[in-house]
Structure 1
Amino acid sequence: MARRNGAPEVNAGSMADIAFLLLIFFLVTTTIETDAGLDRMLPPMEPPEDNVIIKQKNIFTVNINKNGQLLVEDELMNLQDLREAAKAFLENGADGSCTYCKGRGDLNSSDNPDKAIISLKNDRETKYSTYITVQNELVGAYNDLRDREAERLYGQKFTKMEAEYLNPETPSSVRDDLKDKVKRVQEMFPQKLSEAETSTN
């Protein structure tokens, strides 16, 4: 009787093909989540043709030092008070042109929401978490005012309408209906959040 030498061989010629097909399958079917990041518009490369004069009273300055302290309009302020202060500035309505604003009409503050600009400046040593928290409070001030007006006009919050409008799974008929509503509320309180160059001190 003949004796077999060694272990039986396995034909592995097609294993590379199978591995390659599995790799393609996983690449095609896997979804990779990407971070949205901060929604900010960079200024245009070329300055505008017309020289725009911005009054100092229409600029709400927020400075963050390296210790995380806030200097708002040249006065120290707690972080929990920032949102309300920003809202009061945005809807001040000093020139009386804003019919929906509920501000005090202080002549030393912003004329109307269209002219109001929030300027944020931070130190290079400012903690990133502090920077993001301040950003959230300032954006939250815009969203609070927009929510109020959206509820008055359309009976629902702006943030909900905007999220539904930006959702790619929303039917096109619903998105078309939301487009004008979202744009109208955004124009009532345009988000003009400017970030000045960071300081090295």
Structure 2
Amino acid sequence: MSDVPALLFDLDGTLIDSIPAIHAMVNAVMADLGYPALGMVQVRGFVGRGVPHLIRQVLEAQGEDPEGPMFARVETALMARYLYDVEGNTPYPGVSQALSALAARGCRLGVCTNKPHGPAIAALTHVGLLDHFEVVLGGDSLPSRKPDPAMVHHAHDRLGGGPLLYVGDSEVDAETAANAGAAFALYTEGYRHAPIEALPHRFAFSDWRGFADLALPHLLAGETG
């Protein structure tokens, strides 16, 4: 196992604010199918567990059977838009600088997101972050999604092992880190619903500026879980 520090990041709500893009895309798809618009706060509550969960929540909000025949129609339309409806995705302030600082200090970086791999690549490219990462795994990259730890284990192996920190913003991310036995850093300005103290974490932060200085002591100490 390498002794080079590795950091794995969630995407939506952690590195980028994607809710405006997802909200616009969902409403465009549903409008084409004859349904009224949903509010941004409502759609925000559906994000984090992958596209199937998002679709089921949207259908339920529209009074449809989330397991019924509309699921396939919405999924097809949504995935057709997901690769190019990237406007509205924005990186949180200081993210690019933090990633550059970590790389300059010898860290290896990857992304583990429940967003499908193609749309994740498209979003990262749109916001100018893709080149920071050696590995990007999406919700369709493996048979399971977060909070199953397989994605974290697989990405960690591809980065060479070594001290690991997983960085995310939500209940799903906290559970994923715990399942993977990884130290967890909680970004508090993302999409979580629970209070900060309800999510197990090694440390929490609200500003990406200075993140490298917070993260490195944990990594250089060889801490994992």
Structure number with greater CO (CA < 8 Å, separation at least 6) is 2
Specify if TM > 0.5. Answer: no
- TM norm structure 2: 0.24
